[in-house]
Amino acid sequence: MKRHCPFAVGMMAVLFPTASLAAQAAPAPAPAPAPNAVSGTVNLALVNAAGNTSVTTINAAEYFKIKPTDSRFQFEEGFSVIYGKSGDSVTAQQYKASGRVDFTLVLFFHVFAGGTWEKNAYAGINNRFEELAGVAFRPIDIPTDLLSVELGTAVTQKQSTLAIPDANYTAGRVAASYKHTFSTASYFQEIAEVLPDLQNTTNTLVNSETSLVAPLSTGIALRMSYVVKFNNAPDPGFVKTDRLLSAGVQIAF
């Protein structure tokens, strides 16, 4: 008959319950972090402008987005200012504010509504308000590449710096945005829009912004951008195209 070692039997009696209790007490793996509901950027840059404005000055901008988890709604707002001074004279003074709400209908298809306000005396704009709405879809939506196309309308009210009547009109709007991500904080982005006056086709606006962002450290990156604003029918005395080249720092949160 086989004999059992009393010492071995005793150790097993102690170790097996201890292992069982340890397994029961082991903490569950931490859940994956949810996407940030709030995000944004702050840009500070040295600007070289040519066109209606020819000056080197400071550009500051901020962008803020709220997208609650598991919600179809998304809210965005932005504000930018360009201000330059030469001696006692102001040589550049541009302001722009925008807000927008998006609602996702299906996976890659959504509707939006928003508005912008712009002031740029050096381009003949005392105040310009724009209310826009439309539909958008994303034919490409993968981790490295995002392409979004928008179709809609925009109602514009423009007050000139000249003694001429205000311009109020409805325009069509076609826009596209493409973003290629190289790494977590490094990307290339192109945004463009065309706004043709539906009553006067010679009155067409084209806006384009090309940007490249490369990280310097966590949350801080080098950002370069090139903005082109084309107005096919500017007020008398102003040129059609403004160009804005800037290089500076972007802070993300």
Instruction: Say whether pLDDT at 51 is over 50.
Output: yes
Q: What pTM was estimated for this model as a whole? A: 0.81
Phi, psi at residue 57, to the nearest 5°?
-155, -160
25 inside domain: no
What is the span of the domain harbouring residue 180? 37-252
Contacts of 81 (CB under 8 A, 6+ apart): 59, 60, 61, 94, 95, 96
The Cα angle at residue 33 between residues 32 and 35, in degrees rounded to 5? 125
23 inside domain: no
> What is the domain count for the chain?
1
pLDDT computed for residue 85 by the predictor: 81
**For residue 161, how many C-alpha atoms fall within 13 Å in the half-sphere facing its CB?**
14
pLDDT digits (tens, 9 = 90+) for 154-206: 999 999 999 999 999 999 999 999 999 998 889 999 999 999 999 998 999 99
Of the pLDDT bands very low, low, confident and very high (cuts 50, 70, 90), residue 35 is low
14 inside domain: no
DSSP string, 74-134: EEEEEEEEEEEEETTEEEEEEEEEEEEEEEEEETTEEEEEEEEEEEEGGGTEEEEEEEEEE
What CATH code is carried by the domain that includes residue 110? 2.40.160.40
Rounded to whole angstroms, how far apart are CA atoms 168 and 164?
12
Instruction: Say whether pLDDT at 129 is over 90.
Output: yes
7 inside domain: no
Contacts of 128 (CB under 8 A, 6+ apart): 116, 117, 118, 119, 156, 157, 158, 159
Instruction: Say whether pLDDT at 45 is over 50.
Output: yes
Higher-confidence residue of 69 and 229: namely 229
pLDDT computed for residue 27 by the predictor: 53
* pLDDT, average across residues 112-140: 97
Question: Collapsing DSSP states into helix, strand and coil, what is residue 240?
Answer: coil
* pLDDT, average across residues 118-123: 94
Residues 78 and 51: beta-carbon distance below 8 Å: no
Q: Which residues pair with 187 in a beta bridge?
A: 181, 213
Of the pLDDT bands very low, low, confident and very high (cuts 50, 70, 90), residue 15 is very low
Rounded to whole angstroms, how far apart are CA atoms 100 and 42?
18
Instruction: Say whether pLDDT at 21 is over 60.
Output: no
Which bin fits 43, alpha (ψ -120 to 50), beta or left (φ > 0)?
A: beta
Dihedral Cα 44, 253, 38, 59, nearest 10 deg: 0
CA-closest candidate to residue 51, choices 238, 235, 206, 242: 242
Q: How far is CA 202 from CA 49, 122, 195, in A?
A: 26, 22, 11
Instruction: Say whether pLDDT at 13 is over 50.
Output: no
* pLDDT, average across residues 53-71: 88
31 inside domain: no
4 inside domain: no
83 inside domain: yes
Instruction: Say whether pLDDT at 150 is over 90.
Output: yes
12 inside domain: no
Of the pLDDT bands very low, low, confident and very high (cuts 50, 70, 90), residue 36 is low
